[in-house]
Amino acid sequence: MELDILKSGSEAVILTLTGVDPNSTIQDVKRKIAFQKRAIYPERQSLRLESRGRSLDDKVVISSLNLNRGRVLYLKDLGPQIGWSTVFLAEYAGPLLAYMISFTRPYWLYGNNADLPMSYVVKIAAACWTLHYSKRIYETIFVHRFSHSTMPIMNLFKNCAYYWGFAFYIGYFVNHPLYTEPFFGKVQVYLGLISFLLNEYGNYSIHVALRDLRPPGSTERKIPMPTKNPFTFLFRYVSCPNYAYEWYSWASFSIMTQTLPAAIFTAVGFYQMAVWALGKHRNYKKEFPNYPKRRTAIVPFLL
């Protein structure tokens, strides 16, 4: 059969594929397109049924599609791609380094104050920071099973600027020689620390539960449910407990260090994750008609 490939967002014909086997998949069509348009390799392509519709899964068979408006598919060029793992490693190793620069109290940053003694809170905060980003690197390598092998290269610059920038900003203030300990002293610090550690473990537990939903090598998606691990109970209430635990962690870190930059990072992170969680929640409801009704996106009962 013949298939017209139109540009997403307009009706311009990019190319016409001939001899397409109706039993071939979207992935096969992408390969055929890439054969004629070498710059648009398969990972760069998003094929859709409608001009501004959702991306079709690579495994979808052409004959199973109701090709409306004749034999037409829309192609969106996602731009140059980069491997997910590379992005995550750059995103997460950077903040470790950016935070640790100020932890070493360099003279060029703090002048003569650099010699002042370091509070125990500052050392605990550096340990928490290291734990968090080491955990993320570990998860990227050993836990997550991503469905996409690549992402747009622009995300690398955007995400790195976000994570590296905040790491330096927070590190500068927490590690500052004139840093003052929290108002309620040890009680506040250790309650913040315990809460931080529990929420980090909660976040890790959710990532493991999500990983276990997907057989190795597949891109399958299922409705996540609480497992035997008690930290996964949040699935009963929200669609993205990993994001929930993540912002509880940063709220705990902010309480522990009592610094404004950490609180701003918590607020910005919460906003971003809430936007993503709402999108994922909407998708779950669309994808699974039997999706649990009482779940919200990220804040139990509210949002």
Interface positions with ligand NAP (CB under 6 A)? 144-148, 203, 210, 213-214, 221-222, 224, 240, 242-243, 246, 269, 272-273
User: Which CB atom, from 14 or from 251, has the smaller least distance to ligand NAP?
Assistant: 251
Q: How far is the CB of 33 from ligand NAP (least distance, A)?
A: 23
How far from 31 is each of 26, 28, 44, 55, 286, CA to CA, in Å? 9, 5, 11, 16, 29
Question: Which of 248, 232, 241 is closest to 199 using CA atoms?
Answer: 248
Place of tokens 């932890």: 103
Q: How far is the CB of 216 from ligand NAP (least distance, A)?
A: 12
Q: Report the phi/psi class of residue 111: left, alpha or beta, with left for phi > 0 and alpha for psi in -120 to 50.
A: left
User: Which CB atom, from 16 or from 218, has the smaller least distance to ligand NAP?
Assistant: 218
Calculate the CA dihedral of residues 125, 173, 272, 85 and round it to 10 degrees.
-60
Question: Which of 105, 103, 104 is closest to 113 using CA atoms?
Answer: 105
Q: How far is the CB of 159 from ligand NAP (least distance, A)?
A: 9
User: Which CB atom, from 180 or from 272, has the smaller least distance to ligand NAP?
Assistant: 272
User: Which CB atom, from 74 or from 243, has the smaller least distance to ligand NAP?
Assistant: 243
Q: How far is the CB of 76 from ligand NAP (least distance, A)?
A: 18
User: Which CB atom, from 134 or from 147, has the smaller least distance to ligand NAP?
Assistant: 147
User: Which CB atom, from 94 or from 269, has the smaller least distance to ligand NAP?
Assistant: 269
Q: How far is the CB of 185 from ligand NAP (least distance, A)?
A: 28
User: Which CB atom, from 125 or from 273, has the smaller least distance to ligand NAP?
Assistant: 273
Residues in Cβ contact with 136 at an 8 Å cutoff, skipping those fewer than 6 apart: 88, 92
Long-range contacts of 155-164 (CB under 8 A, 24+ apart): 155/82, 155/87, 156/82, 156/86, 156/87, 156/90, 156/91, 159/87, 159/91, 160/90, 160/91, 160/94, 163/91, 163/92, 163/94, 163/95, 164/94, 164/95, 164/98
172 burial (CB, 10 Å; 0-12 / 13-18 / 19+) is: middle
User: Which CB atom, from 189 or from 210, has the smaller least distance to ligand NAP?
Assistant: 210
Q: How far is the CB of 7 from ligand NAP (least distance, A)?
A: 26
Q: How far is the CB of 184 from ligand NAP (least distance, A)?
A: 26
Residues in Cβ contact with 52 at an 8 Å cutoff, skipping those fewer than 6 apart: 8, 9
Instruction: Please give the Cα distance from 168 to 160 (Å, whole number).
Output: 12
Q: How far is the CB of 303 from ligand NAP (least distance, A)?
A: 16
Length of the chain: 303
